[in-house]
Amino acid sequence: MPGIAEVFHARFVDHAYPAHTHDTWALMIIDAGSVEFALDRRRHGATGTSAVALLPPGVPHDGRTVTAAGFRKRVLYLDTTVLPERFTGPAVGLPVLGDGPLWRRIHGLHAALSHAGDAFEAESRLSFIRERLHGHLDRLAALRPAGPGREAGRLAGQLRDLLDSRIRAGVSLQEAAGILRAHPTHLIRCFKQTYGLPPHAYLTGRRIERARSLLLSGRRPAEVATAVGFYDQSHLNRHFTRHVGTTPFRFAAVGGPSGD
């Protein structure tokens, strides 16, 4: 439905996400257990049926289980028609919201999304969720953190644009340094200072994002691997499992056009 790029339900007993970014907002509720994550190099935790985690696009984060029992989560990936990018700073400042009514609204939206005939109800529920999130983020706007130095931010942004334009083909460090007229190690330092992860990890995360979308559209894992820039299906499997916690084949089987 409009505004929602993907819905993801998962239970993890022992899994750790590497640092990565999303193009979308990740709105997460925990049904059981606890999860710990770092957002912009600051650690946070979410537990129970009142905690709502909101992770903004373009900001690196990871995630891991806290106890032996693991955790069960539901995530809505929302595009910028629901939450504009201007809310990124406030969300970084306080990514976990203790809001029971908001949790229940998100739970209700997941329930509506599970039935094809309830699209109007789902749209209505999303509208109320959007309103409540906007209220929280407007109040947190003063917490917006200071950004990196102007020069570092400029170079990092240029490298990010270059990587985004070459997700499939990729680019060597030497080529990127030549294009941007910067020393290779300086370029890496600027990127990591600005985005919290090295350029190669960012590019891998972008490829995984694209792979998820193609798998959900019905493309085969072997085809997807080369379409997004991985060497072969084995290369995709290794990175996809590390990022998503399951194999591309199982992800596609459960979530694709022929899934339940």
Q: Are residues 186 and 223 in the same domain?
A: no
Q: Are residues 172 and 189 in the same domain?
A: yes
Q: Within a domain: residue 256?
A: yes
Q: Within a domain: residue 201?
A: no
3-state DSSP assignment of residue 37: strand
**Within the chain, what is the greatest distance between any pair of CA atoms?**
56
pLDDT more than 70, % of the chain: 95
Q: Are residues 12 and 137 in the same domain?
A: yes
Q: Are residues 163 and 102 in the same domain?
A: no
Q: Which residues pair with 6 in a beta bridge?
A: 77
- CB 122, CB 82: distance < 8 Å: no
- Which pLDDT band holds residue 140 (cuts at 50, 70, 90)? confident
- Mean of the pLDDT values across residues 24-35? 94
Q: Are residues 20 and 95 in the same domain?
A: yes
Q: Within a domain: residue 202?
A: no
Tens-digit pLDDT profile for residues 64-112: 988 888 999 999 999 999 999 889 888 988 899 999 999 999 999 999 9
Q: Within a domain: residue 137?
A: yes
Q: Within a domain: residue 73?
A: yes
How far lies 222's CA from each of 218, 226, 227, 241, in Å?
12, 7, 9, 15
3-state DSSP assignment of residue 66: coil
Residue 14, domain extent: 4-143
Tens-digit pLDDT profile for residues 10-24: 999 888 889 999 999
Q: Within a domain: residue 30?
A: yes
Task: State the average pLDDT for the chain.
Answer: 90
Q: Are residues 212 and 191 in the same domain?
A: no
Categorise residue 58: left if φ over 0, alpha if ψ from -120 to 50, beta otherwise.
Answer: left
Q: Are residues 175 and 225 in the same domain?
A: no
Q: What residues contact 231, with CB distance under 8 A and at least 6 apart? A: 225
- Which pLDDT band holds residue 142 (cuts at 50, 70, 90)? low
- Mean of the pLDDT values across residues 131-153? 76
How far lies 116's CA from each of 44, 48, 111, 121, 254, in Å?
35, 28, 11, 11, 16
pLDDT at 162 over 70: yes
Q: Are residues 76 and 112 in the same domain?
A: yes
Give me the CATH number covering residue 243. 1.10.10.60
Q: Are residues 76 and 172 in the same domain?
A: no
- Look at the chain and report how many structural domains it folds into: 3
- Cα–Cα distance measured from residue 77 to residue 27, given in angstroms and rounded to the nearest whole number: 6
pLDDT value at position 260? 45
DSSP for 139-199 reads HTGGGPPP---HHHHHHHHHHHHHHHHTTTT---HHHHHHHHTS-HHHHHHHHHHHHSS-H
Give me the CATH number covering residue 117. 2.60.120.10
pLDDT value at position 194? 86
- Which pLDDT band holds residue 148 (cuts at 50, 70, 90)? low
